[in-house]
Amino acid sequence: MDLLARSDALLDAAAPQTPLAEVGNLSDRVRAYLLAQLTAGELAPGERINEAELARRLGISRNPVREAVAGLVRQGFLVARPRRGAFLRTFTRKDADDIFSFRIAVETFALRQALALGEPGFGLRMRMIAGDMLEAARTGDVGRMHELDIAFHRTICVASDNRAALRAHEAMDASVRMMIATVNLREDPLELSAGEHLAIAEAIDRREADRAEGLLAAHIRRSRSNVVLAPAAEREPGAPLSPTPRRTS
């Protein structure tokens, strides 16, 4: 079995959190494969994408690889440099501020929309996810916490029944996961994060829209404070930052 075929399991795992969930042609599959690698921290910031080597490893021609790379450049995950190729982007403080500010806007909008729809099971679903997060935090299961964290925030956007909000969230979530995988993070106590999610879920269950929005925004702002980045002027373009283990957000 070739490498691209073996990567399908990786694509399946990433599908619920990425706008590339519906993978069809070969270039889409390569793009989803690359995005999964980027968000998993498999490549260092500033690292060049070697299209020829990637095509050789995947056992395919260069055309779908070139198309996939061009797509990731358009999405802002890679940076194209004339006559040099495409490189994994680096993140600055401004990037993080922009991404997390937009995340607050999208998720609080989605939350208010979801509460306005009044779907009966929404609050219960959120409480169940938050309860599972508390259990994962108590046992120190970081991987499970990460999965549940993604599910918690995505569930809010799905419940809004707003496709534009969901698309924006999925694209932004990929950027957040890519940033978290490639930058330095302050230690974030698991039980603190789980407790914040539970408080949000309880406010949702009680249909306290203002309180739920405030708690959600405060949680995202605290997540931003854990991301340690140098301003653009303090490092050379493309200079790698030391990767650290993934945290919940």
Quote the longest CA-to-CA distance of the chain.
Answer: 57
Domains, the chain, ranges and CATH?
3-88 (1.10.10.10), 93-234 (1.20.120.530)
CB-CB neighbours of 242 under 10 Å? 9
Residue 12 scores a pLDDT above 50: no
Q: How many Å apart are CA 237 and CA 91, to the nearest integer?
A: 10
- Which two structure tokens, joined as six digits, stand for 79? 């940076």
Contact 140, 239 (CB under 8 A): no
Half-sphere CA count of 182, side-chain side, radius 13 A: 29
DSSP state of 87: E
Residue 91 scores a pLDDT above 90: no
pLDDT digit string, tens, across residues 181-227: 766 667 778 999 999 999 999 999 999 999 999 999 999 999 998 88
- Which two structure tokens, joined as six digits, stand for 238? 């493309």
The confidence band for 237, taking pLDDT boundaries of 50, 70 and 90, is: very low
Q: Which amino acid is at 171?
A: A
Q: What is the pLDDT of residue 89?
A: 84
Q: What is the pLDDT of residue 230?
A: 52
Give the predicted TM-score (pTM) of the model.
Answer: 0.71
**Residue with structure tokens 């959600």?**
216
Of how many residues is the chain composed?
249
Angle between helices 122-139 and 93-117 (to 10 degrees): 140
Residue 140 scores a pLDDT above 60: yes
Q: What is the pLDDT of residue 198?
A: 98
